[in-house]
Amino acid sequence: MKQLGKSSKFEYTVEPFTEDFTGVLAWQELGKRILAAAGMHADSHGFGMKQLMPQNMAWVLSRMTISMNEMPKVNEKYAVDTWIRNIYRTFTDRCFAILRPDNTAYGYAYTTWALINMETRMPVNLENLPDGGFAKWIDDEKICQVSDNSRIRVKESEPSRVITAYYSDIDINCHVNSIRYIEHMLDLFPQEQYTGHPLANLEIAYHGEALYGDSLALYKQCVSPGVWDVEVRMQPREDETGREKKICSCRMTFK
């Protein structure tokens, strides 16, 4: 058996029906691969859902930035390589390289996660885990180049679209799944946007959780040419009063 390294690499082909209309891997498909790679790496290294669920703990994605110089085209091969970058109190950063078969990078992703206690919904201090937790797997040398740390603030008060969370939107935890927000955000832009100026950079921050049947308003605002901030706000539920609640916000930078 191969010795377990700090990083894990998962190899794929862009299968037909996972590309967008321009013929490259769709962002939401890449997003699913990235989160699946995180899960599989954590499971194989002893700190995944497999080990944590029985302890009533779960990983929650807090932020994700994906920077792509190029996207693999349909039928092309690519790999997702992932490793832990660091651990700081209640957060840990995990990196990803999206690689060509010759190991040059299509792009990178950078994610921030919290481990929560499912009963209290409170974050666990990752520096105090038994036996040093998963600190031994940290690799702080591998390259992960993303453009990050924008301050996203949408002032727009007229939603571009209001959607309802349906069956296809919800994940195994019965929340709207993290990638599905990205899909709905991509759908705010017209077809011609993607022809000449594909998306190059996406930064998303998750603030809250929506459930089946929730009403989600999407707001978008142009920050500078080719740069858009998008916010998803949940409208008050039937039994609630009050204001919309911010669920996630995203900066999308087109080429």
Q: What does the binding site for a second copy look like in residue numbers (CB under 8 A)? A: 15-23, 26, 28, 32-33, 35-36, 39-40, 74, 166-174, 177, 179, 183, 186-187, 189-191, 194, 212-213
Residue in the structure block whose two tokens are 């901030």: 229
Min dist. Cβ of residue 130 to a second copy (A) = 25
| Minimum distance of a second copy from residue 250's CB (angstroms) | 15
Residue (153 or 161) nearer to a second copy, CB: 161
Nearest distance, CB of residue 96 and a second copy, angstroms = 14
Closer residue to a second copy (CB): 89 or 161: 161
| Shorter beta-carbon distance to a second copy: residue 44 or 145 | 44
Q: For the CB of residue 175, give the shortest distance to a second copy in the complex, in Å.
A: 9
Pick 101 or 213: Cβ nearer a second copy: 213
- Shortest Cβ distance from residue 177 to a second copy (Å)? 7
Is 234 within 8 Å of 251 (Cβ atoms)? no
Neighbour order of strands in the sheet with 199-206:
8-13, 77-88, 91-99, 105-117, 57-68, 199-206, 245-254, 227-234, 215-224, 161-164
Which residue number, 29 or 229, has a Cβ lying nearer to a second copy?
29
For 79-130, give the DSSP string.
EEEEEEEEEETTEEEEEEEEE-TTS-EEEEEEEEEEEEETTT-PBP-GGG-G
Q: Which CB, 58 or 135, lies closer to a second copy?
A: 58
Are the beta carbons of 72 and 25 closer than 8 angstroms?
Answer: yes
For 209, half-sphere exposure in the C-beta direction (CA atoms, 13 angstrom radius) is 12
DSSP single-letter state for residue 41: H
Q: Smallest gap, in angstroms, from Cβ of residue 220 to a second copy?
A: 13
- 68 Cβ contact partners less than 8 Å away, ≥ 6 residues apart: 30, 98, 106, 107, 199, 200, 201
Q: Could you tell me the smallest distance in angstroms from the CB atom of residue 50 to a second copy?
A: 9
- Distance between CA 254 and CA 246 in Å, rounded? 24
Residue number, 146 or 182, with CB nearest to a second copy: 182
What are the DSSP E strand ranges found in the chain? 8-13, 57-68, 77-88, 91-99, 105-117, 161-164, 199-206, 215-224, 227-234, 245-254
